[in-house]
Every structure is written in C-alpha cells, then in structure tokens.
C-alpha cells in the first residue's frame, strides 16, 4: 500500500471556505493520531484546519459518518452545549479540494489536559456536560431505522501469525492473549446485546484530548467525528475512566467519583446494570486494537510514520485491556456506591 500523500493548497482552501487571505505561514498543531491539523491565520481571523487522512476517506462509511457526526455537533452547539462544529462550505462540513478532504473550525484558544487523573472540578464539569448531551434531543437526525451496536469478531490468531512473519514487536503478546481476546469478545458482545435496548447519540470520545479549556476555565468539546449511538451507561463509565487516568495507569478513585457525581447531579440517566456497562467497554478497545494491528502491518497504510504509530498503539492497547480486565470488579464497587 502506498504511503499517505496529503495534498494541501492553503490558498485554494481559503477561497473555498471564504476565509480571507493568508496572513503568515500555517503552523502544524501536534497531537492528532489520525489526521493532520494546522493553525491558519488569515485577514479574517484564525482557524483550525483538519486535513483528513486520505486512507480514512477510502472507506465507504467515511463520508456518511463525517456528515452525521457534524450534524450531532451542530445540534449540540444549538442546544447550548460548548461544542465546536465545522464550517460549512458548499453546504457541507467536509470539502474535497483536489482530492484532499478538509474540515475548518473557528480557532478556540485553549489547552487540553494531560491523560493523568484530572482535577476534581474539571471531572464534575465534564460529567455534567455528558449528562446534558445524553438528554439532548437528536430525533431530527434519526432516520427511524432501529440501530444496534454490532459485535466485534476478529481472527486474532491469523493476525498474530502475520505479526510473527513481519517480526512485529507485539506479535507474541497478541499470541499469548488469544484466549483472553476471545473471552473479551464474547462478554462484550453479550453485554452490548443487553444494552442495545437503550441507545442514545453521544460524542463517544470525550476524553481529555477532546476538551479544550479556555483561560477563563470554560470548556469546549472538539473532534466529534466518533459521534454516534451508544448506551449512556457504557458511555458514562468509559468517559469517567478516561478522566480518572486510565490511559496512564492507576485510576484515581476521587476523579472517577467526581465525574460520575457530576453526571448524576446534572440529571444523568439512571443506570440499570453497571456490570454490562463495564463489560461492554471492551468493545471499543477491541476495535481500536484491530485497527492499529492492521495499521502496523501496512494493511491500512504504507506510510512509515503511520505504521510506527499503529505499532505503538497495539502494545499500549493490549496493556490497557489487561489492566481493564483486572480492575473491573473494583470499579463496579465504586459505581454501586454512587448512584
């Protein structure tokens, strides 16, 4: 597979989105795992430009997903949630300019928090925002077709063998965990079936990296491209764990409880089964693991940097899933004491 080639003509982009004339060299914004981001200064203002990964746009589902997720962001913004939807050009939030797709946003001057356990007040704030999002009426973009979360079924053994042939550093770890992967698939699929009776549209990736904090302490939710249907309980548990520091190791009890308490204090959805919510949490991790294995093997991209990023994410995701499995019962005990 060929290397990823981004074709970026900022002058033409300014014309299409009517941003004015460039006033300086665009600068790279670091931190994205899938796309390229730039800060753009023009005669009309300052903007954030997302150049979409061309490999992602080759998927048949990519365009419908982007259009839907931006509808979600726009409705959330209209309802008073601090959401940052993309500009529209030609009535679309995603525009093809000479084969390269772009999204443009108003520049919000703010900083993200590191993935460590977040300050308690920040946790309560984002927990309250998640509750507000779960109560937002998205019926205007519901096509009436019943939606269910699809099971994750992957031939992990074949992928481990491919990794061995390529001398991938994660191959043996994957092979050693084949039994666990099969079990995680089974229990998460069973849990998802139980949760499918109550699905709602949400951001679905509301970790620290996707909330900017202004100098006055105000939050802004960005990167809505994962928005879609999820069970509120699963969404709450997964997001609370992000803000409690799961990605860097030990989960902070205080940050976790602050997040969940902020959610319920703002009228968050009452939870019927914490166990199913925790078990279903394996599903997104399995999907992310599968994507990064393919990325590492060059099946998603031939770009060396992308493959290296995929390789690193495979190792991190496997470790995260093992830790998740070991700590679920403990987190379940915390949750039963909150609601």
Instruction: Classify 120-336 by CATH class.
Output: alpha beta
The whole-number pLDDT of residue 2 equals: 46
pLDDT reported for residue 17: 93
| Residue ranges per structural domain of the chain | 10-106, 120-336
pLDDT attached to residue 313: 94
**Average pLDDT by stretches of 10, the chain with 339 residues:** 64 93 90 80 95 86 93 97 94 90 95 96 98 95 66 89 95 96 94 88 96 97 94 94 91 97 92 88 93 91 83 94 93 86
HEC string of the chain equals CCCCCCCCCHHHHHHHHCCCCECCCCEEECCCCCCEEEEEEECCCEEEEEECCHHHHCCCCHHHHHHHHHHHHHHHHHCCCCECCCCCECCECCEEECCEEEEEEECCCCECCCCCCCCHHHHHHHHHHHHHHHCCCCHHHCCCCCCCCCCCCCCHHHHHHHHHHCCCCCHHHHHHCHHHHHHHHHHHHHHHHHHCCCCEEECCCCCHHHEEECCCCCEEECCCCCCEEECHHHHHHHHHHHHCCHHHCCCCHHHHHHHHHHHHHCCCCCCCCHHHHHHHHHHHHHHHHHHHHHHHHCCCCCCHHHHHHHHHHHHHHHHHHHHHHHHHHHHHHHHHCCC
pLDDT at 6: 63
- What is 10-106's CATH number, 2.40.100.10, 3.40.50.300, 3.30.200.20, 3.40.190.10? 3.30.200.20
Q: What is the pTM of this model?
A: 0.88
């Amino acid at each position: 597979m060929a290397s990823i080639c981004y074709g970026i003509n900022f002058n033409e982009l300014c014309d299409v989105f009517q941003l004015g004339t460039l006033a300086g060299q665009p600068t790279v914004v670091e931190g994205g795992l899938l796309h390229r981001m730039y800060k753009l200064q023009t005669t009309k203002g300052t903007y954030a430009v997302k150049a979409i990964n061309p490999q992602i746009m080759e998927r048949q589902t990519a365009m419908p997903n982007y259009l839907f997720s931006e509808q979600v962001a726009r409705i959330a913004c209209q309802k008073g949630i601090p959401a940052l939807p993309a500009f529209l050009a030609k009535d679309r939030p995603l525009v093809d300019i000479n084969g390269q797709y772009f999204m443009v946003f108003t520049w919000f001057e703010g900083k993200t928090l590191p993935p460590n356990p977040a300050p308690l007040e920040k946790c309560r704030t984002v927990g309250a925002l998640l509750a507000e999002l779960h109560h937002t009426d998205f019926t205007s973009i519901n096509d009436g077709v019943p939606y269910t979360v699809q099971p994750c079924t992957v031939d992990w053994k074949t992928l481990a063998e491919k990794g061995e042939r390529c001398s991938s550093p994660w191959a043996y770890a994957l092979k050693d965990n084949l039994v666990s992967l099969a079990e995680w698939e089974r229990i998460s699929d069973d849990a998802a079936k139980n949760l499918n009776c109550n699905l709602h549209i949400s951001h679905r990736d509301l970790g620290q990296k996707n909330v900017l904090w202004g100098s006055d302490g105000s939050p802004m939710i960005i990167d809505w491209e994962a928005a879609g249907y999820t069970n509120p309980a699963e969404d709450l548990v997964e997001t609370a764990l992000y803000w409690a520091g799961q990605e860097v190791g030990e989960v902070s009890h205080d940050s976790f409880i602050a997040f969940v308490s902020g959610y319920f204090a703002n009228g968050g959805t009452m939870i019927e089964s914490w166990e199913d919510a925790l078990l279903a949490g394996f599903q997104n991790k399995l999907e992310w693991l599968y994507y990064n294995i393919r990325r590492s093997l060059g099946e998603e991209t031939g770009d060396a940097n992308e493959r290296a990023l995929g390789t690193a994410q495979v190792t991190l995701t496997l470790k995260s899933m093992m830790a998740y499995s070991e700590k679920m019962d403990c987190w379940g005990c915390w949750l039963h004491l909150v609601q």
